[in-house]
Amino acid sequence: MVIDPSLFAVPATPQELADFRTKFYPEYKPAKTSTIIMMILLVVVGVFAFLGAPVNEFAAVVRLMGMVMVVAPIVVLSSIITTRYTFQKRIKGSVKAYRFAQANGLQYEAQVKNPTRSGFVFSNPNANRKSIFDVISRTDTNPFEIGNFYYETGSGKSKAIYLTGYMRITLDRNLPNMVLDAKADDTRIFGIRQSNLGVTFSKDQALRLEGNFNDYFTLYAPKEYETDALYVFTPDFMARLIDEASLFNAEIIDNNLYIYSINQMPLDKPETYERLFSILDSVGAKAITQTDNYRDSRSEVAGAVDINGRRLKKSLSVTATVALTAIVILYVLQQVPILTAIFTK
């Protein structure tokens, strides 16, 4: 893989940006210059109308019209400028990712809307407006996919935006669903360690492995699949994960190994690819060879995993549990006067 620093160091030229926009975002139509000029003229006229209103019975009406002619175009102009700036800034980085893909004969997609991926990051039931940006992939030898997954939850003032980077490595076998929760990206609330996975798995699925692996990751595997997990997570595989991927969460699901970042991956920087392809060549290669002969003895279908091992069981997060407990306590306290009245009659 050619990771030439010049592919990323040279800024995107105006021609590159125009060609990229035409190729990948033909639906994007920036506001015309004439529209912007018209908005500016309306503001100027509105200012004169507001300041130069005649002193008579129509003064209040003229000032109100002038104010509307100032405020409305400014709102429109602000929206136009913000949209254009945000879009231009994003595709400047995308052009560099596209350069890298072209230089290495890789497939590139600027945006995949409503993606269908099996990893837990992509299966948030509250997510909307889902898209993957800057998808770089290879489908022949040692298939992989890299991208940044964008989604929103809620709406209005409660809307939250998430952007998660990932690498998907295709394996040769279907495997039980297993998740590695990296401890390096955990946060602490009142001294209590909190996972940043974004999903909570039942604690009875957590395994403890030998050596110092548990200092870096918490491994989750379906109940009764502990032996299968040990078959995959051998000491040498665990060592590679610690050395190469201890800053990332990971998941094995179906025939995929996902490597997750809790933040956006800067795909316009060479260091990102150096790290990802080091993981691909080390962790990915070992995962493929280690699982090459795996077979789920519980399944009657060759090459398939029994239904009990295909997905991990989820549970309520600590935050959700605390909130639910508080609601129950408040409800009970509200009923106390009623209960007291009933039993004291």
pTM of the model: 0.82
Per-residue pLDDT of the chain (345 residues; tens, 9 = 90+): 779 989 999 999 999 999 999 999 998 887 777 888 888 888 888 887 778 767 676 777 777 887 888 888 888 888 888 888 888 899 999 999 999 999 999 999 999 999 999 999 999 888 999 999 999 999 988 999 999 999 999 888 888 999 999 999 999 999 999 999 999 988 877 767 788 888 999 999 999 998 899 999 999 999 999 999 999 999 999 999 999 999 999 999 999 999 999 999 999 999 999 999 999 999 999 999 999 999 999 999 999 999 999 999 998 544 444 444 444 455 455 655 555 555 555
CA distance 275 to 277: 6
CA distance 106 to 273: 13
Phi, psi (rounded to 5 degrees) for 170: -85, 130
User: Looking at residue 324, what is its pLDDT?
Assistant: 40
Burial class, 242, CB count within 10 angstroms (exposed 0-12 / middle 13-18 / buried 19+): middle
Phi, psi (rounded to 5 degrees) for 145: -145, 135
Number of Cα atoms under 13 Å in the Cβ half of residue 317: 11
Q: Tally Cβ neighbours within 10 Å of residue 248.
A: 24
Query: Are residues 151 and 141 in contact, defined by beta-carbon separation less than 8 angstroms?
Result: no
Q: Which two tokens stand for residue 66?
A: 């002038």
User: Looking at residue 318, what is its pLDDT?
Assistant: 47
User: Looking at residue 323, what is its pLDDT?
Assistant: 43
Say whether 312 sits in a helix, a strand or coil.
Answer: coil
Which pairing describes strands 127-138 and 107-113: parallel, antiparallel, or unpaired? antiparallel
User: Looking at residue 221, what is its pLDDT?
Assistant: 97
Q: Considering only CA atoms, which of 48, 38, 47 is closest in space to residue 76?
A: 38
